[in-house]
Structure 1
Amino acid sequence: MNSWIKLSVCFGLCFSIAGCSSLSGMFGKDADYRKNEAELAKKLEMPPNFVLRRSGDPLVSMNVSTAQMLEEIDTIPSFRAEGIRIESNLVERWLVIEDLSVKDVWRGIEQFLASQGFKVEERRLDIGLLTTEYLARKEIAPVEQELTMISRLLNSWRDEMVDGIYDRYTVRVEEQASEVRVYFSHHMMTARATDTTTAWRLRPYQPMMESLALYRSMLYFGAQQDHALQQINTQRVYQEVKEADELVGLRLAATLNESWDYLLTMQYRANWQVERQQPEQHLLWVKIPQAATADQGFFSRLFGSIRTPGLVGIKLTPVSGSTAITELTLVVEEGNLNPKQRQQILTDLGLLTE
């Protein structure tokens, strides 16, 4: 009896195995599924050089090395321009590109702005002007230090994003002889929202944002990082004057009259109110805006218990022995300014870059 059971089980297994390859033949189809799979695989499109090399593919050639291919891929979508540098005068700095046409630079600037998240609002190729829309600046909020360790741990599961600052750029593209110049002008707007309304306010530009645009655009057009950093750091029109490692003023590489015009220009761009001018003494008294102390709070953090000066005087004096160098110092009507106060005032006016 047991032998009949074993024989029946073996016969059933053999029939089921044979049936797998013969059922498709009963319905008029090819029984060789391996052949069908092989034919199907031939029709699949494979990426170049992913499995098989294709001699007719222009992207892959048998005599092209892997290093050359990686080098080409690494340059997309950036440019490879030569002679990229930064030039400046007392008022502004600009990017210089030598071996690209003005149309290629224009196209590259549009792509660069798009890579930074900006949408172009106005294009005026006839006058070489690009204006972007305002873009919200988003940052991760710092963790409150006064919270307990347990509270910080419970809140660490997600980053809190904050906004309220919006940036835009106006870009000028000019062709000068055999080179193209690119100027970046920064504009800023802040928004303070409540449950019912949103208060919008135009704010002065930030020189740091213009320097950042110049640096990133240099990298986009093919400059090396070390070269770009060197250009940003060396293209300055001033030298810091320090006593005992403390900032006391600046020395401008310009004559007294040129420095006075530069000072008026930077004050206008920073939108600080002029209380009075003394051109004969080359002294300009400006009022620290209340928005700076109330909204940003950097003066209150810097000054602490020290009373915030209402007026700050910016004085220019020629350096003895040289007519092309002018010294710039800060004065107040009462008391003195500490080094951090002087540095913050000069930075916010755009006279000192970070």
Structure 2
Amino acid sequence: MLTDSTAGPAGAPATDDAPVTLAHGYVPVIDTSSARQGDPARRARVARAIGEVCETSGFMAVTGHGVPEARIRAVYEATRQFFALAPEEKRRLLADPDDPLMRGFGVEGNLAAANDGVDAEQARKLADLSETYTYNRLGDEGATGIPDDAAPGLRTPNKWPEQAGFRAAYLAYYREMELLARELARLMALALDLPENWFDDKIDHHISNMTANYYPGQENPPRPGQLRKGVHSDWGLLTILYQDGAPGGLQVRDKAGQWVDVPAVEGTFVVNIGDLMAVWTNDRWVSTVHRVVNPPREVAHRERYSLPFFLQPNYTAPIECIPTCTGPDNPPRHAPTTSGAYLVGKLSAAYGI
């Protein structure tokens, strides 16, 4: 459950005339530091910038976010040490096949298999060239937010490695992501001409996965069509991604169908809109497909790590067209659903579980 907390500063406070958009492009850099000062006019200014991005690419790099660098370093180092374990050690934490949230060490799958119109069985034959570890607060003892009639697998406990400091680093970082996600959701509410707290009671018992992605060095060339992460869109409200700068990284597909690199800008998180948010906004905001490409062969030995936090609203949150995104000439385009039903369907398609 979310409660208020104060995070350390990230960068100097912005002045009234400081630019909000620090770098333009298909994936612009947005400075949110002025919004964190609480002034309504400044918050509205940042919200407008975010809203413009969400209507075009749905992808941005966010600075001034307030997440302490020490938290990022700690979880990154814990992640690196975990994936360096022997294969048999990692497989002891293999995700339960009955767990739709796939907590623990990741099974082979292909995210592209969850896309509409895709032959899921065929797509899964080309497994993504990555390893994963996933944590979700629903696996904690006493976790709230799971209805009695939900799939029993949602209550599967998290699987923790024995390495010193891992659990503490992950829980602390997850907490930072919860707070940042709520702040971004509030700015997005303002961008949609909603009360700032409109999303609050829809994410206060969220069911969000945090996943560590490990992309091993590639001693042998991949099979034709095989990628580190297949072409896909994210599924939830929004994603907050930390990525390192190793070769073979994230790309988004622009409106012309061209693939655009998403650079790893120091001190930023990549933030993007998920499918559920596109549905919620009646497609006013876009969920853009992306992929993680293989590195050039001359540097194929390089490893890469990333840490996405997927904000998924409360399991029972109704996903119906947001009032400000519909009107007499723009009726709702999507049937109502719930956050939980939507997520479980996507996971089932991607991983065949």
- Which range, TM-score by smaller chain? under 0.3
Higher fraction of helix: 1
Per the normalisation by structure 2, the TM-score is 0.22
Larger Rg: 1
Higher fraction of strand: 1
Q: Which has the higher contact order (CA 8 A, sep 6+)?
A: 2
